[in-house]
Amino acid sequence: MSKLRVATVWFSGCSGCHMSFLDLDERLLEFAERAELVFSPIADIKEFPENVDVVLIEGAVGNTEHLRELLEIRKKAKILVAFGDCAVTGNVPSLRNPLPREEVLRTVYAKDDPPGLEEGEVPKFLPRALPLSAVVPVDFFLPGCPPPADRIWKFLRPVLLGQKPELSGPDLKFG
C-alpha cells in the first residue's frame, strides 16, 4: 500500500497545534509507517506539492500570503482540515477584527510606515483574520486550543486507515 501524502501548514497561529501534533509521541512512528510528510513547517520543503491527500492547516488567514497559499492548497489537496481553533473560528488572531487594520498595525508595530500596511517584504495584513471556512470549503474541523494529542490521533488514525473520522462531544471542545 502506498503511503498517504500528508502536509501540515502554519498560518496565523502560535504553532501550538504543531507542538500538540509532536506530542503524538510514539504514535508518530505509526504515522510515519502509514504516511509521508510531504510539506510542513517541521520539514524543510519550500513548495507545496501536488497531489496531497490530507492537509492539516493551523492558524487563521491573516494576510495576503496566507490567502494566496490557501487557495493554492485547496486545489492541490484532497482533504483539507481546519486544525485547531484559529483555523476553525479565527480564535486569538481574530481579536483584532473589531479594530481598524491600520490602527492595529500602527499601535503594535510602528507609528510610521508599519510593516504589512501595504504589500511589501511583509505580506499585506488582511482587514480581518478569517477562519479557513470563510475562504475555501473545509472538509473537517478539528477544534481545540490546541487540540490535545489524543484528539489529534482520534481524528488522524481513521484518516490514515482510509476511514471517515468522527469527533463528537468533548472532542469538539473549543478553547
> Interface residues with other proteins (CB under 8 A)?
82, 85, 88-92, 94-95, 97-99, 128, 131, 133-134, 138, 141, 143, 145, 167-170, 172-175
Which three cell numbers, joined as nine digits, stand for 26?
Answer: 510514539
First to last CA, the chain: 37
Least distance CB 93 / other proteins (angstroms): 10
- What is the smallest separation between the CB atom of 107 and other proteins, expressed in angstroms? 15
**51/170 with CB nearer other proteins:** 170
Residue number with CB closer to other proteins (66 or 96): 96
Q: How far is the CB of 56 from other proteins (least distance, A)?
A: 15
Task: List the alpha helices (DSSP H) in the chain.
Answer: 16-22, 27-34, 64-76, 85-89, 101-108, 149-160
Q: Which residue number, 92 or 122, has a Cβ lying nearer to other proteins?
A: 92
* Cβ distance to other proteins smaller for residue 38 or 136: 136
Which secondary-structure segment (H or E) carries 45? Answer: none
174: left (phi over 0), alpha (psi -120 to 50) or beta: beta
* Residue 161 Cβ vs other proteins, minimum distance, rounded to whole Å: 21
Q: How far is the CB of 89 from other proteins (least distance, A)?
A: 7
φ/ψ of residue 39, rounded to 5: -165, 135
Which residue, 26 or 98, is less far from other proteins as judged by CB? 98
Contacts of 12 (CB under 8 A, 6+ apart): 59, 60, 61, 62, 63, 66, 86, 93, 129
